[in-house]
């Protein structure tokens, strides 16, 4: 059964002023993405149908790369505010604030960035794992959080898609899809 997965790929490296700019993406099987340019970066907002999130993300990465664009990162970002956590978990901001303060449960992950400010940020993978362990979030959401982090780690490596665990997953998924096609 196919399901639609939403995520955003931020890219660069193509002439965004060219008349056929968007055609590069539509011709590369990215017709399930809304293509735009924000602050000089190419923004592709996908709603991709696939068997699972890994297949959706891997196939989109391959399709975007086939245009000659350089992938900068995948969003949603792994750094999240309490509001982001509430939105991603379908819980109220108040409930998340209580978890973070230790009022409803213990051992909620500590912020990892801007700790001394009024708007600290948490690591979404750690929060998703904590919430999954308490049956507040699905395994699918936790896996997606981990895959986005792995993809971004691979993208930031000197040779992004060579030997990283995510690169190996992408290649395995592509090989499986070609055999199935």
pLDDT of residue 174: 53
SS (H, E, C) the chain: CCEEEEEEEEEECCCCCCCCHHHHHHCCCCCCEEEEEECCEEEEEEEEEECCHHHHHHHHHHHHHCCCCEEEEEECCCEECHHHHHHHHCCCHHHHHHHHHCCCCCCCCCCCECCCCCCCEEEHHHHHHHHHHCCCCCHHHHHHHHHHHHHHHHHHCCCCCCCCHHHHHHHHHHHHHHHHC
Average of per-residue pLDDT values in the chain: 86
pLDDT of residue 155: 77
- For residue 161, pLDDT beyond 70: no
pLDDT of residue 45: 97
pLDDT of residue 156: 72
Peptide bond into 135 cis (omega under 30): no
Per-residue pLDDT reduced to its tens digit, 75-98:
988 899 999 999 999 999 999 999
- Can you give the residue ranges of every domain in the chain? 3-75+142-180, 79-137
pLDDT of residue 67: 92
pLDDT of residue 181: 47
Round to the nearest angstrom and report the end-to-end CA distance of the chain. Answer: 16
% of the chain exceeding 70 in pLDDT? 86
More confident residue, 24 or 155: 24
pTM score of the predicted model? 0.79
pLDDT of residue 159: 57
113, two tokens: 């960035």
More confident residue, 145 or 153: 145
% of the chain exceeding 90 in pLDDT? 55
Question: Average pLDDT, stretch 110-137?
Answer: 92
- For residue 16, pLDDT beyond 60: yes
Question: Average pLDDT, stretch 85-114?
Answer: 91
């Amino acid at each position: 059964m196919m399901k639609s997965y939403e995520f955003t790929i931020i890219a660069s490296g193509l002439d965004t002023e060219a008349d056929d700019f968007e055609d590069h993406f539509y011709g590369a099987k990215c017709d399930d993405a809304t293509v735009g340019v924000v602050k000089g970066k190419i923004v592709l907002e996908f709603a991709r149908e696939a068997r699972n999130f890994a297949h959706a993300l891997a196939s989109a990465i391959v399709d975007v790369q086939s245009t000659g664009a350089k992938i900068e990162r995948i969003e949603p970002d792994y750094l999240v505010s309490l509001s982001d956590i509430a939105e991603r978990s379908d819980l109220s901001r108040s409930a998340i604030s209580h978890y973070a303060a230790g009022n409803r449960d213990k051992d909620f992950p500590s912020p990892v960035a801007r700790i001394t400010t009024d708007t600290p940020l948490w690591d979404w993978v750690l929060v998703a794992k904590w919430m999954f362990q308490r049956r507040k979030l699905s395994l699918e959401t936790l896996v997606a959080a981990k895959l986005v982090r792995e993809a971004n780690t691979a993208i930031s490596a000197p040779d992004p898609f060579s030997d990283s665990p995510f690169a190996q997953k992408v290649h395995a998924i592509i090989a499986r899809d070609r055999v199935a096609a």
